[in-house]
A and B are shown apart, each in its own frame.
Chain A
Amino acid sequence: MKVSFNWLKTMVDLTGISPEEAAEKLTSAGVECEGLTHLATGTNLVVGEILQCSPVEGSDHLHLLQVDEGNKYGIVQIVCGAPNARAGLKVIVARPGAVLAEDKKIEKGTIKGIESDGMCCSLLELGVDRKYLSEKQIAGIEELPKEAKPGDEEVLSFLGLDDTVLELSVLPSRPDILSVENVARELSVLFERPFKEETKTLEGTFETAYAPKSETPLCPQFSLIEVRGLENGPSPLWLRRRLEGSGIRSIDKIVDIGNYVMLLTGRPLNMYDADKVKGKSLTAKLATPGPWKGMDEKTYELSGKEIGIYDEENNLACLAGILTSDEARVDEKTKNVLVECAYFDGVAIRRATVTLGLSSDSSTRFVRGIDPTRAERTLGYVATLFKELCEAKEISKPNTYDEIGREKTVIPFTSDYINKRLGTDILEEEIVALLKRDGLEIEKDGSGLKAIVPSYRLDLKEACDLSEEVIRLLGYDAIKSTFPKMELSLGGLTPYQQKRRSIRNFLTSRGLIEALTYSLVGEKEKDDYAYFGAKESYSLLNPLSPERKFLRKSLLPSLLLSASYNLSHQNEDFALFEVSDIDGVNYQGEHLAIVALGEEHLMGRLKRRPYDFYYVKGLFEAILGILGITPSRLAIAPLSKDEAGEDFHPYRSVKVSLGKKTVGVFGEPHPKARDRYGLGKTPAALLELDLKALLEVPTGNKKAAVPPRFPKIRRDLSLLIDEKVSAASLLTAAKKASALIKEAEVFDVYEGKGLPEGKKSVALCFFLYDETKTLREEEAAEAMQKAEAALLRLGAEVRS
């Protein structure tokens, strides 16, 4: 909200206080000043009178002017291109050395070979906002009124343009600030200066026949006066400037008076042309649905939830609190006016502004909150303006419909409470004095105090509000830091959080890059890679776009989109991971996902290894290790064709289960998934785990292993076996064959040239020992024979 500093100065004594100081103090007290602008800027200006104006040869628009700049500067020659330059005109001259708006500097110059000693200005060049200027004023130089004296250097002051505008940001808790009067009040409290309230009022001379009525609780108060026999027309300069300093364009006297009083008091008014209102009553009630034309000449479709002011013939004269109708509006010819000062329910007004997409300075105030009292005081002041400016012949007494309670808010409190809440030691007398200066009445209440809140402070309701009032006015520097005094308690991460942290640490130490993706996805991704967790996604009622309508059920699609983004930006060879909450209907989980694309660099680019199934398998096994989960507690099995769908390569992916629950999937993507996500033929590996399920698996304490006392014997076997037989089955069979075989591992696998069709060569190593004694050769040989027999049963052929 814009506030004119000059206007504020008429209500509070601000001598010696600059607009910048006022702005700073207001800001720290919670009335933030976001910027200061000037209505106009210009130095070295002087009023001049054009004595002579002759066309310049060779130009169709330039004139040579002889300008009288008064006694000090004499008569000066200026070349001017304005269409309205003529002899006898009083103008604004910017003398050489002048600096105008946007830092434009004026120097002595030569135009078409003729010396020009300055420039005649339009208000636009002085920085006046073009919305306040007429077409004529924009197209040419400013024509000053006859009273302007050549030589007068206080040009901006003469024009009322020497004003600073404070741009205030109004907090939702301070709707009272939407009134210039209250801003002045605030300044008077902050700077401890006297405040002069506007008390001008006019007693009405007759009882008006017009009656305000209300048929809805949404309008509990409605006052009006009738003004007869007025002359409308353009407003005087002082009024126009006050409005411009508040960011509002002057229209005509009637409209301007309404806006002016609204700006001053914060109470919106509405003006009706009395001769266009049918009958003698104005009734507030819920609007009839249907189209309606406002005075902005636009048609609006009313829903029936809006408040309307209807005349006796049921014409909608005004969309209450928002806009007058096209029919009942005032114009240059208006002679008789009805002025409405009413109270409308802010919630209803806000709903209407939202559904109609229409708001106004009035509606904003109703929505934020209005002081419901003093409607008649407001109308009394309006009356004086109509008398003074419009020569109104007769003004009525106010006619009021009023259902609003007059109870003032009373807040019991103690200075002890205030100090405890703030952590300060302010004397009670100081607190009382401060609140009194702020406009509250303070009285003793038993052993405590009570504050009676002025009607315009809608935000002061309980004692905590008073504590804020005290400290914001005193200044927060009054608070000295202390530390809370509390009992000892344990904080920090829970075991679950610690385990999760160790997994993130592990992954980053292994070279993976942590990613952060959006939770909202579109129709395309929402059902991909959904192997565990929610069956149904949450969806938004009011999404910003269809690509962000659903809460994801799984992490892989989001990571795949990020991976794909990277690929298309020439980034290659990377592995991303993310840990995130996943929310779905009846599901609250936390997942870990990994997407690895390209090749792992093992020694710069010299040694590379494509990301594949074994990469994510390795990470998975390491994670189990970190969590202390023995692999045998989980079942790992290949994904069925159905399960793999078009997400995973059915022969290069597995599913991990804990009992009946799927807790993980990992492997390589299905070719169709590669297409969907733009992965091309780049080597890729994916993994997603139900991290919550794994972090919640109970694990026992570590138990120390006793190193065996007796040496072990190593025996190797080389087998020729069917390609489809898994290494794990060979190892299991061999180990089962003899208790002496403690460890068995595959150390070579060869599939290729030189072998029979469908066969592979596998080399296994076995470590045998006996805990109780040194193993003898014969015992080892016997154990190996048993192992060989078991392997033969699987179809293996022992090679050596």
Chain B
Amino acid sequence: MEEKEIREAALKAIGDSKDLKSLEEVRISYLGKKGSVAALMARIKDLDPAERGAYGAKINGLRNEVEGAYNQKKTELEKEALEQKLKEEAIDLSLPGYEFRQGYRHPYHLIIDEVTAIFADLGFEVKEGRDVETEDYNFTYLNVPKDHPAREMQDTFYLEQGGLLLRTQTSAEQAHAMQEKFDKGPIKMICPGKTYRRDDDDPTHSHQFGQIEGLLIGKDISMADLKGTLELFVKRMFGEKRSIRFRSSYFPFTEPSVEVDVSCAKCGGKGCQMCKGTGYIEILGAGEVHPAVLRHGGYDPDVYSGFAFGVGIERVAMLRYGIDDIRRFYQNDVRFLKSF
């Protein structure tokens, strides 16, 4: 066959190849050792030496062209074959992924973790105390006199094991913190903990609930320092735009004592349903530590002063997450827990 015809046939055969297998067969038949192009090249011995150069070049040219076409086609077919293979490996992408999802933290602990983080950043230690306390630490050292109504059987859980009770406030930790500080130096501490009151459980009351106590003792610590510190805390916890206000109140262990309100996040202080039209929500109790409490802790009130504050954990969580009933914290319905 003539070189022109072979060229056409080869290129057509290459072009017509549907897969790598048939392309390989085409390659062998045209470019192989026994292939057509080799056969053409073999004819060179029948030519005049003078003509051989040109003829050789022509056949090589043909070989290159066919090889070129072959390589191109091969690349194409390989691409197609790969594409096909990949298509067969397709899967249903809509099925669920493997379970790596996080579990859930309890909202009570979320609040503790957040408050702890803010105060840890300010260099506060975290103390916990125990749920079971003595009357002295829960009342006497907090300046609650022996006949104070708070000590009543109707409000406090007393244990059958004498002299003990379930603590009614985390303030009980204040006296421990002070008494345990051997060098009687400055104290910065918070105490998150479970507290207990003899209250029937209903949507806003629980016999068991949590509080976070804060105590800071140093030299010349004032109500102004309390205000500044609480502002820092409130802005970090509830938003930069929040402001606080103090209202005169009473606790046996602080004097002055205040209730601390935070400006309502929902209406910014204008008044809405959330804050019952007042523009503020009561969040904390606080005050300047009473000199009697300092003395019980082994601190000289003429040298040291301090402030203390307390916040209800469930209360903050209920406001932040819109929880309707305090009993939900203890029900542990996973549908509820999974919202956090």
Contact = CB atoms under 8 A, between A and B. Distances in A.
B90 interface: no
A171 B219 CA distance: 30
A403 interface: no
A566 B152 contact: no
Q: Which of B124, B222, B245, B334 has the most CB of A within 10 A?
A: B334
Interface stretch (B10-18, B44-52, B72-80, B249-257): B249-257
Contacts of B207: 518, 520, 544, 548
Interface residues of B, number: 82
A606 interface: yes
Contacts of A173: 250
B164 interface: yes
A512 interface: yes
Contacts of B229: 483-484
Nearest to B227: A481
B337 to A, nearest CB: 5
Given A479-B223, A481-B227, A520-B207, A354 B152 contact: yes
Contacts of B96: 603-606
B5 interface: no
A513 B101 CA distance: 11
Nearest to A424: B224
Nearest to B331: A565
B131 A504 contact: no
B330 A516 contact: yes
Interface in B118-144: 119-120, 122-126, 128, 130-132
A569 interface: yes
A422 interface: yes
A467 B248 CA distance: 12
B126 A493 contact: yes
Interface in A382-439: 420-424
Interface string B248-269: 1110000111100000000000
B138 to A, nearest CB: 14
Given A484-B216, A484-B229, A539-B159, A566 B332 contact: yes
A566 B333 contact: yes
A476 interface: yes
A171 B249 contact: yes
Interface stretch (A24-32, A112-120, A443-451): A24-32
Contacts of B186: 486-487, 489
A508 B208 contact: no
B288 A583 contact: no
B248 A479 contact: no
Interface in A477-500: 477, 479-494, 497
A634 to B, nearest CB: 25
Contacts of A464: 255-256, 288, 290-291
Contacts of B101: 511
Given A472-B248, A508-B102, A465 B331 contact: no
A497 B126 contact: yes
B102 A423 contact: no
B246 interface: yes
Nearest to B307: A484
Contacts of B334: 513, 566, 571, 574, 576
B224 A479 contact: yes
A506 to B, nearest CB: 10
A551 interface: yes
Contacts of A485: 218, 220
B145 to A, nearest CB: 10
Interface in A526-583: 538-544, 548, 551, 562, 565-566, 569, 571, 574-576, 581, 583
Given A347-B147, A464-B288, A566-B334, A491 B132 contact: no
Interface of A: 27-30, 32, 171-174, 347, 350, 354, 367, 420-424, 462, 464-465, 467-468, 471-472, 476-477, 479-494, 497, 504, 507-520, 538-544, 548, 551, 562, 565-566, 569, 571, 574-576, 581, 583, 585, 588, 600-607
Given A462-B291, A544-B200, A569-B333, 11 more contacts: A367-B149, A420-B222, A423-B223, A465-B255, A482-B225, A487-B186, A491-B188, A517-B330, A543-B157, A601-B99, A603-B95
3 tightest A-B CB contacts, nearest first: A423-B224, A604-B96, A423-B222
24 contacts: A347-B147, A422-B256, A476-B246, A476-B258, A480-B224, A481-B224, A482-B228, A486-B186, A491-B119, A509-B102, A510-B103, A511-B99, A511-B103, A513-B104, A514-B103, A516-B108, A516-B109, A516-B329, A520-B207, A539-B160, A540-B157, A541-B159, A565-B331, A607-B98
